[in-house]
A and B are shown apart, each in its own frame.
Chain A
Amino acid sequence: MDLLSFINFYLVPGIVLGAIYSLGAIGITLVFGVLRFAHLAHGDLATMGAFLVLALVSLLGMNPWVALPVSMAATAGLAVALHWLFYEHLRRRSAILTVIASLGVALMLRAVVQVVWGVDSQTYVGGITRPESYFGIRVKDREFWTLAATAALVVGLQLFLTFTRWGKAMRAMSDNPDLARLSGIDTRLTTALTWTIIGILSAAAGFFLGINTELKSLMGWYMLLPMFAAAILGGVGRVEGAVLGGMVIGIAEECSVLFLPSEYKSALAFAILLIMLAVRPTGLLRGKVL
C-alpha cells in the first residue's frame, strides 16, 4: 500500500476520530482535575448534544453547523443541571458514590434519547459528499471543518485557562482545592463554569461524531472507553494531555484494522488504558493520579 493510500484511508480518518476523542477527553480530564471523579455519563452527554442538533435540524430545518452552537448552550445548561440535581449532594459524602450516580445518569440520558428518537441510525443530512483533493490527500468538507472547529475550541479553551481570571481559578481548583477555597475562590461558581465548558465540548464531540459517521443512541457510550483511555494516556488533569491522548488513540484505532479485526477497535483503547495504568499511571505528560 502506498503512502497516499495510507494517508487517505487510515491517517485522515484517524485524525478526525482523534479530534473527536480529544474533545471528549478534555471534558473527562477537566472533571477528573477540578471535580475529582470519573464522569461515566460523559459519553451519553455527547450523544444528547448530537441528538439535540438533530432535533433542531429536523424541526426547524436549521443547518446542522448553525444548530451546533445552540446545542452547545443547551448541553452546557444540561450539564450544570445534572450536577446540581444528582452529583452535588454526593460529592460531600464520597467521590465514588458520585461515580455510581453518573452511571445512573448515563443510563437516563441514553434512555431519553432512545425513547424520543428511537434506536435506529440517523443522519443529519442525506446524500454522499465528495471529498476535496489537496495534493492527492482527500479530505471531505465536513472533516476539514471538524478539524478546524476542534482546533478553535482547544485553542480557545487554553487561552481561557491561561489568561483569564476564572480560567486560572479553575486551574487553581484543580491544583489544590482547599487552598483555592482559602483564597476566597468561589468553588460553586467555578464548578458551574467547569460543567458549562464540559457541556460545550461534549456537544461538539457528539456532533462531530454524528456528522462524520452517523447518529445512534449508543454512540456516546461506545466512546466512553476511548475517551477515558485518552485522558489517562495523556495525563489526568492536563488539557494538552487529553488532546495528545485523543489523537494517539484515534489514529491507533483507525490504523488497527490493518492488523486487528475491525470489531475489536475499541479493544485497542482498553489495552492502552491497562498498559498505561500498569506502567505509567501519570500518563505521558505527567498528570495526576487520583
Chain B
Amino acid sequence: MEWIGLANYAVFMAIFIGIYAILALGLNIQWGLTGLFNAGIAGFFAVGAYTSAILTGPAMEGRLGGFELPVAVGWIGAMLVAGLIAWPIGKITLRFRSDYLAIATIGVAEIIRLVAKSEDWLTNSARGLNNLPRPFGDLDYFYSQLAYLGLVLLCLVVAYLLVEHQFRSPWGRMMRAIRDNETAAASLGKNIAFRRLEAFVFGACLMGLGGALLAHFNRSITPEGIDPMIATFLIWIMLILGGSGNNRGAILGTAVVWIIWSMTEIVTDQLPTEMAIQAKYIRMFLIGLMLQLVLRFRPEGLLPEDPTQRKAKAGKAP
C-alpha cells in the first residue's frame, strides 16, 4: 500500500521537524531575542539526550543510571541539566561581546562530546545507551509514530507559547532594542544582565528537551548519532532562513531546511556507493553555501521580525 509508506514517512519527517523546531525556538530566544551566538547547540542537545537516557533507561553493569524513572521525569531532568550547564557559561561570557560566547559554546560542545565518547561509566562510550523507553511505544507502528508526533507537537506548542510570550512582553521588546547594540548591553544594570542569562538558560533547556525527545524516539543515543557539525549548523540555518526574531519563522525555517536536507539525502542515496561518503560532505558544503547566500541576499529570513517592534537592523553606522 503506497500511501501507508508515504504517510509513515510524512509522520516521521513531521516528528523530526517538530523536534528541531523546538531547538530552533530555543535558539531564537537566545539569538533572535537576546543576540547571543550559541555555537554549541549540539552540546546542549546531547546533554539532554543523555540525561534523560540515564534517568529512564534500564540498569546496566558498571554504569551509572538505570533508574528507570518515568519518561516525563527524564525529560524534565534533561531540561534541568542542560540549563545547569548553560548557567556558568553564560555567567562568565555574557558580559562580553557574543564572539566570546560563540567560542565558549564551541568549547562546551566539544567537552560534552569527549565525555560522551570516553566516560564509560556514564555514557557507555561508543556503544551508547539503548533500550530507552518510548511513550506509546507498544502500539502498532503507525499509531505509535502518530502518538509520538502528538507528544512532540504538544511540546512544540507549549514551547512556542512560552517563547512567544517572552518576545511580546515589555522586557522582551527592550531586549530586542538593545540586542543589536552590544556596547550598550555591557554597561547595563544587573537586571538586564540577569534577563539575558535567563534567556540563554531557557534556550538551553529547550535544546535539552529536544535532545531527550529524539533519544526516546530512537530508543537510543550514541555519540555518533549526533554529528555536532550538522546538528548545530542545521539549526542555525533553519533559524536564519526562517527569520531570526520571529517564532513562526523559526518553525517555518525548520520545516523548509529539513525538507531540503532530506531531499538531498534521497538524491545522494541514488548515487553509487563509492560516492556515498563524499555525497554526505557535498551536502554539508551546500548547506554552508546556502547560509552564505541567505546572509547575503535575505538575512532577515523568510518571515522577518515583526517590523513595528524591530529596530533598524542596519548595524553600525558608517
Q: Which of B39, B278, B281, B313 contacts A93 (CB 8 A)?
A: B313
Q: Is A90 on the interface with B (CB-CB < 8 A)?
A: yes
Given contacts A93-B315, A115-B278, A119-B277, contact A37 B99 (CB under 8 A): yes
Contact present for B96 and A115 (CB under 8 Å)? no
Q: Is A9 on the interface with B (CB-CB < 8 A)?
A: no
Q: Which of A86, A112, A225, A281 contacts B110 (CB 8 A)?
A: A225
**Contact code string B275-318 (vs A, CB < 8 Å = 1, else 0):** 00110011011011101100110010000000000000111101
Q: Is B218 on the interface with A (CB-CB < 8 A)?
A: no
Closest to B114 in A: A263
Contact present for B295 and A290 (CB under 8 Å)? no
Q: Is B68 on the interface with A (CB-CB < 8 A)?
A: no
A262: min CB distance to chain B, Å:
10
A238: min CB distance to chain B, Å:
17
Residues of A within 8 A of B37 (CB): 96, 99-100
Bound-state Cα–Cα, A176 to B93, Å: 25
Q: Is B236 on the interface with A (CB-CB < 8 A)?
A: yes
Q: List the one stretch of B4-12, B100-108, B208-216 in contact with chain A.
A: B100-108
Q: How many residues of B contact A (CB 8 A)?
A: 48
Contact present for A108 and B285 (CB under 8 Å)? yes
A228: min CB distance to chain B, Å:
5
Residues of A within 8 A of B110 (CB): 225, 266-267, 270
Contact present for A273 and B96 (CB under 8 Å)? no
Given contacts A94-B316, A96-B37, A266-B110, contact A274 B104 (CB under 8 A): yes
Q: Is B18 on the interface with A (CB-CB < 8 A)?
A: no
Given contacts A90-B295, A115-B278, A115-B282, contact A108 B288 (CB under 8 A): yes
Q: Kindly identify, within residues 242 to 275 of chain A, every residue whose CB is under 8 Å from any CB belonging to chain B.
A: 261, 263-264, 266-267, 269-270, 273-274
Q: Kindly identify, within residues 80 to 138 of chain B, every residue whose CB is under 8 Å from any CB belonging to chain A.
A: 89, 92-93, 96-100, 102-104, 106-108, 110-111, 114, 117-118
Residues of B within 8 A of A112 (CB): 285
Contact present for B104 and A277 (CB under 8 Å)? yes
Q: Is B35 on the interface with A (CB-CB < 8 A)?
A: yes
Most buried by B among A103, A110, A228, A261: A103
Residues of A within 8 A of B106 (CB): 40, 224-225
Chain A at the B interface: SS class: helix
Contact present for B92 and A103 (CB under 8 Å)? no
Q: Is B240 on the interface with A (CB-CB < 8 A)?
A: yes
Q: Which of A111, A261, A264, A278 contacts B288 (CB 8 A)?
A: A111
**Contact code string B184-206 (vs A, CB < 8 Å = 1, else 0):** 00000000000000000000000
Most buried by B among A89, A100, A103: A100
Q: Is A114 on the interface with B (CB-CB < 8 A)?
A: yes
Contact present for A290 and B97 (CB under 8 Å)? yes
Contact present for A97 and B299 (CB under 8 Å)? yes
Bound-state Cα–Cα, A289 to B95, Å: 11
Bound-state Cα–Cα, A270 to B109, Å: 11
Closest to B39 in A: A103
Bound-state Cα–Cα, A57 to B103, Å: 34
Residues of B within 8 A of A104 (CB): 233, 237, 288-289, 291-292, 295
Contact present for B92 and A278 (CB under 8 Å)? yes
Given contacts A92-B318, A266-B110, A270-B107, contact A108 B98 (CB under 8 A): no
Q: Kindly identify, within residues 87 to 142 of chain A, every residue whose CB is under 8 Å from any CB belonging to chain B.
A: 89-90, 92-97, 99-101, 103-108, 110-112, 114-115, 118-119
Q: Is B229 on the interface with A (CB-CB < 8 A)?
A: yes
A28: min CB distance to chain B, Å:
10
Residues of B within 8 A of A215 (CB): none
Bound-state Cα–Cα, A115 to B283, Å: 10
Residues of B within 8 A of A261 (CB): 118
Given contacts A99-B98, A103-B39, A224-B106, contact A266 B285 (CB under 8 A): no
Q: Kindly identify, within residues 63 to 100 of chain A, every residue whose CB is under 8 Å from any CB belonging to chain B.
A: 85-86, 89-90, 92-97, 99-100
**Contact code string B225-261 (vs A, CB < 8 Å = 1, else 0):** 0000100010011001000000000000000000000
Residues of A within 8 A of B100 (CB): 38, 232, 277, 290
Bound-state Cα–Cα, A128 to B267, Å: 44
Residues of B within 8 A of A89 (CB): 296
Given contacts A97-B295, A101-B292, A263-B114, contact A107 B316 (CB under 8 A): no
Contact present for A40 and B104 (CB under 8 Å)? no
Q: Is B164 on the interface with A (CB-CB < 8 A)?
A: no
Bound-state Cα–Cα, A89 to B297, Å: 10
Given contacts A93-B314, A111-B281, A111-B282, contact A86 B292 (CB under 8 A): yes
Contact present for A277 and B93 (CB under 8 Å)? yes
Contact present for B104 and A266 (CB under 8 Å)? no
Closest to B118 in A: A263
Closest to A89 in B: B296
Question: Measuring CB to CB, which residues of chain B are less than 8 angstroms from any residue of chain A?
Answer: 35, 37, 39, 89, 92-93, 96-100, 102-104, 106-108, 110-111, 114, 117-118, 180, 182, 229, 233, 236-237, 240, 277-278, 281-282, 284-285, 287-289, 291-292, 295-296, 299, 313-316, 318
Given contacts A119-B277, A263-B118, 18 further A-B contacts (CB under 8 A): A40-B39, A40-B102, A94-B180, A95-B97, A100-B37, A100-B291, A104-B237, A104-B291, A105-B288, A107-B229, A107-B285, A108-B289, A110-B284, A111-B282, A111-B288, A261-B118, A270-B104, A274-B92
The contact sample of 8 A-B pairs, CB cut-off 8 A, is A40-B102, A94-B315, A103-B39, A107-B285, A111-B281, A118-B277, A274-B104, A290-B100
Q: Can you list the 6 inter-chain pairs with the closest CB atoms, starting with the nearest?
A: A38-B99, A111-B285, A94-B315, A270-B107, A108-B288, A93-B315
